[in-house]
Structures are given as structure tokens and as C-alpha cells.
Chains A and B, each alone.
Chain A
Amino acid sequence: MTMLNAAGMLAVNIPIGQHVTGKLFGFTLNLDTIWNTVVAGAIVLGLGFYLRSRVTAGVPGKLQLFWEFVIGSVGDQVENSLGPRYRRAVPLAVTLFVFILVADWLEILPGLFHNTDYSPAPTADVNLTYAMAILVFLVTNAEAIRAKGFGRYLKHFFRKPRLLVPINILEELLKPLTLSLRLFGNLFSGGIMIALLISFPIAFFPASIAFTVIWKLFDMFIGVIQAFIFALLTILYYEFAIKEGEH
């Protein structure tokens, strides 16, 4: 438990990294994260399957426009940087963007568990961001091996100058770490900001409400940016993976 002395005399207690947990086979599960992940996943799948039931080749509705915009943008990005052969990267990038976006935006909803002021976004828990980043790491490295063959893939790390070999390896290993921690940090700090604003003394109640609303709106903007960055970096890592060594 961390005690945070937020603003001098305003001694507030903001929980950091605190989760509602359960145990399974002796291992800890963050139940709030899992629950919010389920909610986010249900929303994404709900939007997807709802659209699927009423998709039209005629004039699209707003929901369809949203999906088509995402798929079209990601598709263009993939085709421009990877080429049409790698259209199989599109579903991963699209899912990452939409899922992260919805997960980020959960933060504007009131929470269900220990924190009733906001639902901690599942992306504010490293378990989800690590999971997604490691998936991206595995997929991109698998694509690299598939594109170059295992020998050339390995040789890529041991290219000259030899002095930089550890750096090359480190760079590859750090990609998922930065990818996940960037998202986590942004959303996590967003949650802390809300907690901080909510914890204003009762005398500042109107200001607290106003700032919280403003911050939540700004947080939604951050959510879009972070979802976009995650998806874009996924495509870029893809590009590095299949093109490195060609030049």
C-alpha cells in the first residue's frame, strides 16, 4: 500500500496497483481487471456482431462507418508499409485498436469494486498490456522467421558491427516492454489523476466534479491516442520484422 501525499496538507490515500484479487491454484487473479476485460471484450464483440447482423453494402450507418474507417485506415497502413501480402496483419491491428480503445474508455464509467469513482481500465493493468505486447512480439518474430528463414533471422542480430550485438538483441526484447508500459503508464496515470481529483476535500466539491469531467474527457482523448499508437507500432514492428536485412 502506498501512501501518497498529494498536495501537502491534503493528505489523501490513493491506492496504487491495488486490485480486487482472487486465488486460483495458489496464483493471484486481479478480478477487477478480468471483469473489466470481459466488459470491454463484450462491448467489442457486441459492436462487431451487431454490425455483422445489419451490415450493408449500401449506405452505411454510423457504427459501420466507424468499423470501416478503422479497417480501411489499418488496411491502407498495412498495404503501404508491408504490401498486400501481409493483409493478414490487419485483423490483429484492428482488434488491438478497437479493444484498447474500448478498454481505455471504460475509465469514464463509474467503478463497481473498491473504487466507485471510475472503472480502472484493464489497460491500466500490466497483465493485459504485457499479454498484448508479448503476442505482438511473438507474431512479429514468427513473421520475421517466416519471411527470412531462421538462419537469416538469427544472423540479423549478429550483424556487424559486433559491438552492437547486445544492443540489437536488447532492442528486440525491449520492444514489447516499451509497447506495454507506454499504454499501461498512460492509462494508469489517468486513473491516478481521477482518484486525485475525486479526493479533493468536500469544500472543493464543485471544482472536483468539473475537473473530473474535464479530465475524463481528456482521458478519452488519451485513450484514442494510445490505442492508435499501439496499433501503429504493431504494424511498424511487423514492417521491421519482415524488411530488416533487406536494406
Chain B
Amino acid sequence: MLLASSNFLVPNLTFVVELAAFLLVLGALAKYVLPVINRTMEQRQATIRQALTDAEEAKRRAAEAEEEYKRAISEARSQARSVVDEAGRLAEQMRAEKRQQADQEYEHIIARARVDIDAQMRRATEELRQQAADLAISVVEKVLGEGLDEATHRNLIDRTITEVEARSRPAGVTT
């Protein structure tokens, strides 16, 4: 082993060996190692980018789905509301119709009752008049004795009753 010392700032043949060694390392790394690492780095970046894109896409889809869901819900709500409104309207209409019907029926019944009452009143009046005539004849017979000819005096009596009726009733009302 030769130990030697010289000016340590002056290079010697070692320089060439060192240069060659460094170039060798540089060449080997540049040709075989660095491209591979670069490629995997790019692949990983691509993977990450893809994952990010996918995530973005998934987020967008989720947002769309939510939007769609909200839209469906609000549509369903508005439909339900319109159904309820329609039902209310129908109910109101039916109620009005029923009321109208009832009113008509009421009028009808009233009218019929009035007709009935009139008829009965007329009949009662007629009966009353008959009875009054009979009563009057029988009274007159009792007063004058047996000499009253019913057929002869019936006219007279009827006329008398009619006059009485006309006097006792206000003018213009006929029943």
C-alpha cells in the first residue's frame, strides 16, 4: 500500500476514473431506474386523478338523484294538494246541490200542504155551509111548523148563507 500526499487541490488520473464512474451511475439510473419510477409516479397520479374524477361523477350523480327525489316529492305533494282541493270543491258542490234539493223539496212539501189545507178548508166550509143550511131549515121548520117546503126554500136559504158569508169575509179572498 502506497501512501502518498500531494497538493490536494490538484487532480490526477483519478479524475478520469471518477468521471467515468459518475457517468456510469448517471447512465444506468437514467436508462433503467428513473424512467420506471417516473412511469409509476405518472400511473399513480393517473389513478388518483381517475379516482377523483369518479368521486366527482358519483357526487354529481348523487346530487342529481337528490334533485330528482326532491322534484318527485314536491310533485307528489302538489298532486296530493290538488286532489284534496278537488275533493273539497266536489264536497262543496254536493253540499250546495243537496241544500238546493232540500230547499226545493221543502217548497214542494209546503206547496202541497197548502193545497191540502185549502182543499180541506173548502170542504169544511162546504160541509159547514150544508150543516148551517140544514140547521137553519130545521130551525125555521120548528118555528113555522110543518109548512115549510124544503125544496121551495132551499134557494132562499142558500142565498142568505152566501150573503152572510160575503159579509163576514174580507173582500177579494176566495177559498
Q: A: which residues have CB within 8 A of B?
A: 1-2, 15-22, 24-25, 27-30, 33-34, 37-38, 41, 44-45, 48-49, 51-52, 55-58, 60, 64, 67-68, 71-72, 90-92, 94-95, 98-99, 113-114, 122, 125-128, 130-132, 134-135, 181, 188
Contacts and interface: CB of A to CB of B under 8 A. Distances in A.
Interface string B8-38: 1111111111110111111011101110111
B29 to A, nearest CB: 5
A126 B19 CA distance: 11
B152 interface: no
Interface stretch (B39-47, B105-113, B125-133, B139-147): B39-47
Contacts of B40: 55-57, 60, 64
A17 B3 CA distance: 10
A95 B30 contact: yes
A28 B33 contact: no
A45 B5 contact: no
Contacts of B19: 131, 134-135
B164 interface: no
A41 B29 CA distance: 11
A177 B65 CA distance: 68
B31 to A, nearest CB: 9
B137 to A, nearest CB: 136
Interface of B: 1-19, 21-26, 28-30, 32-34, 36-38, 40-41, 43-44, 47
A94 B21 CA distance: 16
B12 A95 contact: no
Given A34-B18, A41-B21, A90-B34, A28 B1 contact: no
Nearest to B16: A131
Contact of B47 (A1, A22, A57, A126): A57
Contacts of B15: 127, 130-131
A19 B5 contact: yes
A122 B29 contact: no
A41 B24 contact: yes
Given A29-B13, A56-B40, A68-B37, A16 B8 contact: yes
A125 B41 contact: no
A1 B30 CA distance: 41
B12 A127 contact: yes
Contacts of B12: 27-30, 127
> Most B CB atoms within 10 A — which of A29, A91, A98, A135?
A91
A192 B28 CA distance: 33
Contacts of A122: 18
A132 B22 contact: yes
B47 to A, nearest CB: 7
A17 B1 contact: no
B47 A20 contact: no
Contacts of A24: 13
Contacts of A67: 33, 37
A190 B52 CA distance: 48
A28 B14 contact: yes
Nearest to A41: B25
B14 A52 contact: no
B25 A127 contact: no
Contacts of B44: 57-58, 60
Contacts of A135: 19, 22-23
A124 B41 CA distance: 34
B37 A21 contact: no
Given A94-B29, A127-B12, A135-B23, A1 B5 contact: yes
A28 B44 CA distance: 49
Given A126-B8, A128-B14, 4 more contacts: A21-B2, A51-B33, A67-B37, A127-B12
B21 A19 contact: no
Contact of B18 (A44, A95, A127): A127
